[in-house]
Amino acid sequence: MVAMDRALVVGLGNPGRKYAGNRHNVGFQCVERLASAHGLLFDKAHRRAKAALGAICEQPVVLVRPQTYMNESGQAVAPLVRFYQVPLDRLLVVVDDLDLPLGVLRMRPEGGTGGHKGMASLIQSLGGQQGFARLRVGIGRPPGSMDPAAFVLQDFSSDERLVMDEALERAVEAIERWLTQGIDAAMNCCNARAE
């Protein structure tokens, strides 16, 4: 196991109980599952975020759930990157992706917004820097001519929830691998399974 700087793992989503099961909240769902698996609690309140501090696989980590709405995620995350002095290569953002089939995972070391407004806010708040990892979790496309904005705010059906629960377990494994072995090992693990 390689000793590394503290990592910041951010799950993007909307705060509030009414959004908890939404497709747009798979980032929150993922970091909550990761915290639960390692006995961490979101008990540290920041101005615009809740955080869980501790260690995962012996690696120091801060898990973050922004308490802004999705499209303002950068206002919550960028100050925490500075506060915890996290280098961008130790930042991982978990985000939903309409362009991936339900339950498919994709990890990348960097990239653009992918049309995701939460990612756009984050990149803008980091001064345009894009050199941080992202784990995209596929939520599928809306049926027919349904508005994507309405689709992402829907909860998963019971059948979809089964697929998503399994995907979130794989996402937790991918994050653990990213923490302990780095981005290449994590990408090899989760991207290969999705092909």
CA-based nearest residue to 170, from 186, 152, 181: 186
46 is known as an active-site residue = no
Q: Which of 24, 38, 46, 116 is catalytic?
A: 24
CA-based nearest residue to 125, from 113, 135, 107: 113
Token pair recorded at residue 171:
């996402």
Tell me the C-alpha distance between 11 and 31, whole Å. 6
In DSSP terms, 60 is beta-bridged to 55
* Chain length of the chain: 195
Catalytic residues: 24
